[in-house]
Amino acid sequence: MYNFIYHTPTRVYFGKDEEKKIGLILKEYNPKKVLIHYGQSSVIKSGLLERVKKYLEEENIPFVLLGGVKPNPTLEMVRKGIEIGKKENVDFVLAIGGGSVIDSAKDIANGLANPNDDVWDFSLGKKKPAHTTKKGCILTISAAGSEMSNSCVITNEETHEKRGYNSDFNRLDFAIMNPELTYTVSKYQTACGAVDIQMHTIERFFCKGGDTYLTDEIALAIIKSTKKAGIDSYNNPYDYAARSNMMWASSLAHNGLTQCGREFVMCVHQLEHELSGMYENIAHGAGLAALFPSYARYVYKANIERWTKFAKYLFGTEDILKAISMQEEFYKSIGMPTSLIELGVKEEDLEKLAYNASRGKTRILDGYMKLGYEEMLDIYKMAYKN
Amino acid sequence: MYNFIYHTPTRVYFGKDEEKKIGLILKEYNPKKVLIHYGQSSVIKSGLLERVKKYLEEENIPFVLLGGVKPNPTLEMVRKGIEIGKKENVDFVLAIGGGSVIDSAKDIANGLANPNDDVWDFSLGKKKPAHTTKKGCILTISAAGSEMSNSCVITNEETHEKRGYNSDFNRLDFAIMNPELTYTVSKYQTACGAVDIQMHTIERFFCKGGDTYLTDEIALAIIKSTKKAGIDSYNNPYDYAARSNMMWASSLAHNGLTQCGREFVMCVHQLEHELSGMYENIAHGAGLAALFPSYARYVYKANIERWTKFAKYLFGTEDILKAISMQEEFYKSIGMPTSLIELGVKEEDLEKLAYNASRGKTRILDGYMKLGYEEMLDIYKMAYKN
């Protein structure tokens, strides 16, 4: 077991009606002005945004609004948020939405607190934030796990680059999680969420390390429960048990719990980021589902023991290839793609994807099997038609 | 799934040599004076106390010492700590030890920050702390889970009362956990620790609630891993894998993770607190082992479904009574008692134990089966000779 630091300070308010407390919760931080950050039409249509405004007004908390965050949140929106935040003296950023809105809010919060830095340098790893602004969220979709994670993924539309960075300053102060708010999430997005949650834990499970049987058992428990919750949520969007287990899984899968004592490299995520960075219509979860089976078949021989453990616990078989096929069947059963062609990826883009994922043939993803440009290209090619 | 709040802000530094960072870690809090709080001879014999003093001196951090905390930490020691802390202007309390030292440190920290309150009123539930003092620990034994928990258990030796209270102010700012520091823990104390860690999770698993399959799977994962880690640590004290999994389990078992979405009443703990409150030579873990099998046989019919899940996952059987016997065998295999008589409890004290545990026949522990004075007495009697 490797040494590790575990720090998940985000206070979680979980369950029905919890968002009604937002005014009182915010009051504890005594904010001068809150930036309410949100996405496109759904929080307006559902009436949630109006409700939140009312809760804040009831506690006399001043706020300013910034909506319009798209999936794969953009640097452009972050810059806009920082500009408004500076002008309005914002000292608290409240995200209402899912991973995209939360990541955008995190970057805005870091930008506001580090006015002399360019936030894109954080994404590129050229600089690290040294401060942050207080921030919280009301979560409306179970997927990215950003509500408890230390990560933040932003897309630079000018350069077609999607880049993530990890920092303790990316941890929210609080996250309000009412599973009922996810009842209206579409079947497709629900499925994408289940894939993403599972993948956050699967990737950690397959990182290098040893003697972490407690972490392993917890990881497998999360992967297994997410499958059940994902299928049940997909088939019955108003199933509270399913929605609540899935929502809590989204946080635990990505808050660091399942990597304690192991290394941390997210290979499939890195391959996928290039995909949805290049094709803005590709949903992250769908991209992961399209890549994982091919990735799995490509790398499993590098650690037979671990893949056997995975196959046995989750699928009751020691046949790894069979288990990968069964995972594929799970994806199909919730309407997820298992090849790139289904997502409209063009064959002529595969080399460019591998080139970008390998940072111009300079980066190697160091898992049980090392993945450089050539290996990445192999996997993209395998996944193309699969 | 019930609504819940989850908040585990304690920053964990886990692994070999992590205690060497203590000076640098403390420096972040810029303390005026640190109270170093510890137990009896072991941290002196092992040289750990001298090392910690040196690490603090290297960073020019002033400190004052208070040792001598015994198992079942006393109110008297807490009062002494508060007195010294006030006199010396202590603004950080550092515990070096296990649950007893940490609990004593928590209570001192709360006492210092609430100078107009009597700390014993916190234990009695008459008052709640409104502030606290910064605090951290270097953990030297895997057992109580106090390093990440919100609980604090103190014994009033004058009245023979052992009382716990939960508060967010009982959360440490950081916990340094080096499994190698537990190599010298005796076989007996190692076994007691394994019992306590398991019991923290077992009790939560059997609290009222439904539809928490994610929490349940995680709980079972912790119970299972603790058994392996406990047996391995008992048989080979220098097994790093065992010591590290056990240490991490101690934190996860009691930080709130395994109660998310369920009620929280710790029946066996409540019955045990009276035991080690009355007999100061009884180790908490041994008391739990002596009580649990009888408790289990007494209550299991109130929730056959849940006990079957427990039996199946952990012992591969649907026969609950068989599973309880197997749990008993596990206790015996690591030298733990399974009856009160083995612990030297006197038969004539059983009624007094039940009287105290039921707070003079006024308190009912509200689990799947309600336990009042009569039921508690039945369980103590069953456990007496078992």
pLDDT tens per residue across span A98-135? 999 999 999 999 999 999 999 999 999 999 999 999 99
Of A12, A218, A229, the CB nearest to B6: A12
Of A15, A214, A252, the CB nearest to B4: A15
Q: What is the mean pLDDT of residues B343-359?
A: 97
Within chain A, residue ranges assigned H as helices are 22-27, 42-45, 48-58, 75-87, 99-113, 119-124, 187-205, 213-235, 240-252, 267-278, 284-299, 304-315, 320-333, 350-357, 373-385
Q: How many helices (H) and strands (E) does chain A have?
A: 15, 10
For residue B346, the distance in angstroms to the closest alpha carbon of chain A comes to: 39
Within B208-349, residue ranges assigned H as helices are 213-235, 240-252, 267-278, 284-299, 304-315, 320-333
Within B59-180, residue ranges assigned H as helices are 75-87, 99-113, 119-123
For residue A257, the distance in angstroms to the closest alpha carbon of chain B comes to: 10
CB contact under 8 A, A5 and B12: yes
Question: How does pLDDT run across B198-212, given as a tens digit for each residue?
Answer: 999 999 999 999 999
Asked if residues A84 and A69 have their Cβ atoms less than 8 Å apart, the reply is: no
Provide the mean pLDDT of chain B. 97
**Residue intervals in chain A for CATH 1.20.1090.10:** 185-385
For residue B248, the distance in angstroms to the closest alpha carbon of chain A comes to: 8
Asked if residues B69 and B43 have their Cβ atoms less than 8 Å apart, the reply is: no
- Residue A41's pLDDT is 85
For residue B64, what are the CA distances in angstroms to A18, A122, B84, B113? 44, 42, 9, 18
CB contact under 8 A, B6 and A14: yes
Question: Which 3 state secondary structure label does DSSP give B4?
Answer: strand
For residue B106, the distance in angstroms to the closest alpha carbon of chain A comes to: 19
φ/ψ of residue B107, rounded to 5: -70, -40
- Residue B71's pLDDT is 87
- Cβ-based interface (< 8 Å): residues of B facing A: 1-18, 179, 210-215, 217-218, 220-222, 224-226, 228-229, 240-241, 244-245, 248-249, 252, 257, 260-261
Give burial (CB, 10 Å; 0-12/13-18/19+) of A121: middle
**Cα–Cα distance, A298 to A338 (Å, whole number):** 15
One DSSP character per residue, A98-124 reads SHHHHHHHHHHHHHHH-TTS-HHHHHH
For residue B379, the distance in angstroms to the closest alpha carbon of chain A comes to: 32
Provide the mean pLDDT of chain A. 97
Question: Does the pLDDT value for residue A275 go beyond 90?
Answer: yes
Q: Collect all residues with Cβ–Cβ distance below 8 Å to B134 and sequence separation of at least 6.
A: B29, B31, B91, B92, B93, B109, B173
For residue B135, the distance in angstroms to the closest alpha carbon of chain A comes to: 16
Lowest mean pLDDT among A154-163, A316-325, B4-13, B27-36: A154-163
- Residue B72's pLDDT is 86
- Residue B235's pLDDT is 98
Could you identify the residue written with the tokens 């391995």?
Answer: B232
Q: What is the mean pLDDT of residues B97-118?
A: 97
CB contact under 8 A, B229 and A212: no
Identify all chain A residues contacting B179, using CB atoms and an 8 Å cutoff: 1
- Residue B88's pLDDT is 98
Question: Which 3 state secondary structure label does DSSP give B241?
Answer: helix
**Cα–Cα distance, B318 to B291 (Å, whole number):** 22
- The CATH class of the B186-385 domain is mainly alpha
Question: How does pLDDT run across B291-315, given as a tens digit for each residue?
Answer: 999 999 999 999 999 999 999 999 9
0.90 cut: is pTM over it? yes
- Residue A72's pLDDT is 86
- Residue A277's pLDDT is 84
- Residue A162's pLDDT is 85
Question: Does the pLDDT value for residue B242 go beyond 90?
Answer: yes
CA dihedral A352, A353, A355, A356 (to 10 degrees): 110
CB contact under 8 A, A260 and B245: no
Question: How does pLDDT run across A286-325, given as a tens digit for each residue?
Answer: 999 999 999 999 999 999 999 999 999 999 999 999 999 9
Percent of chain A past pLDDT 70, that is, above it, reads 100
Question: Does the pLDDT value for residue B333 go beyond 90?
Answer: yes
**Cα–Cα distance, A7 to B176 (Å, whole number):** 12
CB burial of B61-85 (b: ≥16 within 10 Å; e: otherwise) equals bebeebbebebbbbbebbbebbebb
CB contact under 8 A, B217 and A228: no
Question: How does pLDDT run across A14-56, given as a tens digit for each residue?
Answer: 999 999 999 999 999 999 999 999 998 899 999 999 999 999 9
**Cα–Cα distance, A190 to A231 (Å, whole number):** 9
**Residue intervals in chain B for CATH 1.20.1090.10:** 186-385
For residue A39, what are the CA distances in angstroms to A9, A68, A85? 25, 5, 17
One-letter amino acid of B200 = H
> Count of CB atoms within 10 A of residue A359's CB?
12
Q: Collect all residues with Cβ–Cβ distance below 8 Å to A31 and sequence separation of at least 6.
A: A61, A62, A91, A92, A134
CB contact under 8 A, B213 and A245: yes
In this structure, chain B runs to a length of 386
Give burial (CB, 10 Å; 0-12/13-18/19+) of A329: exposed
A185-385: CATH topology = Dehydroquinate synthase-like, alpha domain (1.20.1090)
**CATH label, A11-181, candidates 3.30.360.10, 3.40.50.300, 3.10.310.10, 3.40.50.1970:** 3.40.50.1970
**Cα–Cα distance, A69 to A43 (Å, whole number):** 12
CB contact under 8 A, A5 and B14: yes
CB contact under 8 A, B244 and A16: no
CB contact under 8 A, B244 and A9: no
Lowest mean pLDDT among A139-148, A271-280, B95-104, B238-247: A271-280
Of B2, B3, B241, the CB nearest to A211: B241
φ/ψ of residue A152, rounded to 5: -155, 120
Nearest residue on chain A to B7, alpha-carbon basis: A11
Identify all chain A residues contacting B8, using CB atoms and an 8 Å cutoff: 8-9
For residue B222, the distance in angstroms to the closest alpha carbon of chain A comes to: 6
Closest CA to A308 of A319, A298, A294: A319
Give first-to-last CA distance, chain A, whole Å: 36
Question: Which one-letter DSSP state was computed for residue B305?
Answer: H
More confident residue, A277 or B170: B170
One-letter amino acid of A178 = N
- Cβ-based interface (< 8 Å): residues of A facing B: 1-18, 179, 210-215, 217-218, 220-222, 224-226, 228-229, 240-241, 244-245, 248-249, 252, 257, 260-261
For residue B301, the distance in angstroms to the closest alpha carbon of chain A comes to: 25
What is the ipTM metric for this complex? 0.96
**Cα–Cα distance, B386 to A252 (Å, whole number):** 41
Of A2, A15, A241, the CB nearest to B3: A15
Size of interface A-B (CB pairs under 8 A): 132
CB contact under 8 A, A248 and B241: no
In this structure, chain A runs to a length of 386
For residue B244, what are the CA distances in angstroms to A261, A305, B95, B98? 9, 21, 20, 15
**Strand bridging mode B92-97 / B34-38:** parallel
CB contact under 8 A, A14 and B8: no
Closest CA to B310 of B324, B329, B290, B289: B324
**Residue intervals in chain B for CATH 3.40.50.1970:** 11-181
